[in-house]
Amino acid sequence: MLKGELAFSILILVAATYLFWETGNFVKPGTTMGPSFWPRIVLGCLIVLVGLASVDTLRALETRQAWGQSLATMDRGKLRFFAAIAYLALLPVLGFILTTPAFMIAFMLLLGEKSVGWILGVSIAMTAVIVVLFTKAMYVPLPRGEWLFRQFSLLFY
């Protein structure tokens, strides 16, 4: 766990240093408090504090000699992570009405649900309820998808 924590701190430190450098792109010469003023204060403090936190973690590592599980250790959870990412990526392409039941079925199965009735019932019913509530009752648009999938979504909303 400590190894992962150290990697996380270093990741923040590297990102903060890169972003500090990036603030150079929006420096406005001649202005006292330009657009880079506040981000630089925040990033400066962040770099100092993350540095302190990393030193603390290193000290703890030395004393405990504990090199816990890696950041990448996700085992069976990996597939569930990818299911969530796939859902977000496919939503603008296939549209809400096709992607949502498919995602819900896959995610429920991955979470260990075995009742077919519940899986199918909840996936289809929730999609229908959301489509009616958001697009018909409250006029809130949902993603329609592209090409043929868009035509399909247009049949419903």
67 binds other proteins (CB under 8 A): no
Measured in residues, the chain has a length of 157
> Which residues does 29 contact at the CB level (< 8 Å), separation at least 6?
none
Count of residues that bind other proteins according to CB under 8 A: 67
Q: How many CB atoms lie within 10 A of CB 153?
A: 21
3-state secondary structure of 105: helix
155 binds other proteins (CB under 8 A): no
The minimum distance between CB 92 and other proteins, in angstroms, equals: 5
Q: Which range of residues in 46-54, 59-67, 148-156 is near other proteins by CB under 8 A?
A: 46-54
**Upper half-sphere CA count for residue 76 (Cβ side, 13 Å):** 5
Q: How many CB atoms lie within 10 A of CB 154?
A: 11
Burial classification of residue 62, based on how many CB atoms lie within 10 Å of its CB (0-12 exposed, 13-18 middle, 19 or more buried): exposed
**Can you tell me which of 1, 10, 148, 154 binds other proteins, judged by CB under 8 A?**
1
Q: Which range of residues in 59-67, 92-100, 148-156 is near other proteins by CB under 8 A?
A: 92-100
154 binds other proteins (CB under 8 A): no
Six-digit token string for 63: 């004393």
Binding interface with other proteins (CB under 8 A) = 1, 4-5, 8, 12, 16, 19, 22-23, 26, 28, 31-39, 42-43, 45-46, 49-50, 52-53, 56, 71, 74-77, 80-81, 84-85, 87-88, 91-92, 96, 100, 103-104, 107-108, 110-114, 118-119, 122-123, 126, 130, 133-134, 138-143
